[in-house]
């Protein structure tokens, strides 16, 4: 799924070893959230097992984007599935920590770490 916004926000399907996932690029703000939510809901409905969201190429994530990810985590939890988020150190990772939700999520610094986390589940 691609949104044609000027800041090049994009959500694409991505594989992470044995897990399915999404790679997100650009800025995730209130205008981008409907596209992110739709992509998350589709991925949750059409996959099984852990779902990986790669935020490595996200330059900005606002509170509405954070809420969309937490909603996705909640949907997955209902099916006893994990949400693994690739989020290296930086402003996006800091948002998870400042918001106090880092402990609720499986945050990985790299794609390789995410693949290992999925294997270990």
How many structural domains is the chain composed of? Answer: 1
Q: Is 85 a residue whose pLDDT tops 60?
A: yes
Asked if the structure places residue 38 within a domain, the reply is yes
**Residue 80 domain boundaries:** 10-119
Sign of CA dihedral 62, 67, 70, 75: negative
Residue 5 has pLDDT above 50, yes or no: no
**pTM of the entire structure?**
0.90
Residue 2 domain-assigned?
no
What percent of the chain shows pLDDT beyond 90?
A: 86
The residue among 8 and 60 whose pLDDT is bigger is 60
Matching residue, tokens 């609720």: 104
pLDDT reading at 121 higher than 80? no
5 found inside a domain: no
- Is 3 among the domain residues? no
Give the strands of the sheet with 106-108, arranged side by side.
10-16, 19-28, 51-61, 83-86, 106-108
Establish if 22 belongs to a structural domain.
yes
For residue 27, being part of any structural domain is answered with yes
Q: Which CATH number is 80's domain given?
A: 3.30.750.24
Q: Is 4 within a domain?
A: no
Buried b / exposed e over 75-100, threshold 16 CB at 10 Å, is bbeeeebbbbbbbeeeebbebbeeee
Domain assignment present for residue 109? The answer is yes
Q: How confident is the model at residue 2 (pLDDT cuts 50, 70, 90)?
A: very low
Mean pLDDT of 19-41: 96
* pLDDT computed for residue 7 by the predictor: 57
Beta strands in the chain (DSSP E): 10-16, 19-28, 51-61, 83-86, 106-108
What pairing do the DSSP bridges indicate for beta strands 10-16 and 19-28? antiparallel
Is the confidence at residue 64, as pLDDT, over 90?
yes
Predicted confidence (pLDDT) at residue 4 exceeds the cutoff of 80: no
Q: What is the mean pLDDT of residues 14-39?
A: 95
């Amino acid at each position: 799924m691609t949104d044609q916004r000027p800041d090049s926000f994009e959500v694409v399907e991505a594989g992470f070893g044995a897990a399915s996932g999404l790679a997100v690029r650009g800025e995730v703000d209130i205008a981008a959230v409907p596209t992110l939510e739709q992509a998350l809901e589709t991925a949750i409905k059409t996959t099984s097992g852990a779902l990986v969201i790669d935020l490595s190429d996200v330059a900005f994530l606002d509170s509405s984007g954070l809420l969309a990810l937490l909603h996705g985590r909640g949907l997955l939890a209902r099916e006893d599935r994990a949400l693994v988020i690739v989020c290296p150190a930086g402003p996006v990772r800091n948002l998870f920590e400042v918001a106090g939700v880092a402990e609720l999520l499986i945050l990985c610094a790299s794609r390789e770490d995410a693949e290992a986390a999925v294997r270990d589940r």
